[in-house]
């Protein structure tokens, strides 16, 4: 089963697609990346994910798997010979899943900072985003057990879940001139972030910041132009 052909439907700016790419790289799985064009949906995407009609979709053989965190868990189970992504201990595994789900919840609210023009609302969104990252900073200490990653001595499930958002966090910081991850307020995340981005499984698929900034500017302008 693990030897079947693997394809991934996605787009480079998506942090959710990035999760799947990192997991596949950690497991040393050869796959074909099929880039979806922004603003359109291919027939293969609509066929493979008829419910949500969105990326990422992992196609293993002829079977599609949808939703980024589900895809990461699937990769971990189907290719067990590579490094494990989820902790082996049931409690640690549950904690990793909890924080990964919170990462999605946090990002949905944090991305508001990029689009909000009202100064008061934008400031409130920034403070809320900082509070969430402070919680992650504390969680890193507990989950890592004193090592370099949420997963311990190597990158794991929660590293992938939160690390996939780092490029967007940097974009928000630059375009909105705010500090979300810094040495004074989130010292553990501040040290963890460059380690994550430099990992061999990440560095070749992590978005180029200049390209990402231009895409974000386009996206904000496009959104604000809509009635």
Using 50, 70 and 90 to split pLDDT, how confident is the model at 167? Answer: very high
Residue 60 has what pLDDT?
98
Write out pLDDT tens, residues 145-166.
999 999 999 999 999 999 999 9
Using 50, 70 and 90 to split pLDDT, how confident is the model at 226? Answer: confident
Residue 205 has what pLDDT?
98
Q: How far apart are CA 206 and CA 197, in angstroms?
A: 7
Is the pTM for the entire model greater than 0.85?
Answer: yes
Using 50, 70 and 90 to split pLDDT, how confident is the model at 203? Answer: very high
Q: Can you count the helices (H) and strands (E) in the chain?
A: 10, 4
Question: Looking at the DSSP assignment, which residues form a beta bridge with residue 63?
Answer: 60
Per the prediction, the chain carries an average pLDDT of 96
Using 50, 70 and 90 to split pLDDT, how confident is the model at 1? Answer: low
> Residue 196: pLDDT above 90?
yes
Residue 224 has what pLDDT?
85
Write out pLDDT tens, residues 90-111.
999 999 999 999 999 999 999 9
Exposed e or buried b per residue across 27-46, where buried means at least 16 C-beta atoms within 10 angstroms of its C-beta? bebebebbebeeeeeeeebe
Residue 227 has what pLDDT?
72
> Residue 72: pLDDT above 70?
yes
Averaged over 44-65, what is the pLDDT? Answer: 97
Contacts of 131 (CB under 8 A, 6+ apart): none
Share of the chain above pLDDT 90, in %: 93
Residue 118 has what pLDDT?
87
Share of the chain above pLDDT 70, in %: 99
Residue 225 has what pLDDT?
86
Q: How far apart are CA 98 and CA 63, in angstroms?
A: 27
């Amino acid at each position: 089963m693990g030897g079947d052909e693997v394809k991934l439907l996605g787009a480079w700016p998506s942090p959710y697609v990035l999760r799947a790419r990192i997991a596949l790289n950690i497991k040393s799985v050869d796959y074909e990346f099929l880039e979806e064009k922004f603003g359109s949906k291919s027939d293969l995407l609509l066929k493979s994910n008829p419910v949500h009609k969105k990326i990422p979709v992992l196609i293993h053989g002829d079977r599609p798997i949808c939703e980024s965190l589900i895809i990461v868990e699937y990769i971990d189970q189907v290719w067990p010979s590579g490094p494990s992504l989820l902790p082996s201990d049931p409690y640690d595994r549950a904690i990793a899943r909890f924080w990964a789900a919170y990462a999605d919840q946090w990002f949905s609210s944090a991305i508001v900072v990029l689009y909000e023009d009202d100064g008061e609302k934008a400031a409130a969104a920034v403070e809320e985003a900082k509070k969430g990252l402070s919680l992650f900073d504390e969680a890193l200490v507990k989950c890592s057990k004193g090592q370099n990653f949420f997963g311990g001595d190597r990158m794991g499930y929660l590293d992938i879940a939160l690390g996939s958002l780092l490029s967007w966090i940097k974009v928000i910081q630059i375009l909105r001139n705010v500090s979300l991850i810094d040495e004074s307020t989130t010292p553990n995340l501040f040290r963890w972030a460059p380690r994550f981005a430099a990992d061999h499984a990440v560095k070749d698929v992590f978005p180029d910041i200049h390209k990402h900034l231009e895409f974000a500017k386009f996206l904000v302008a496009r959104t604000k132009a809509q009635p």
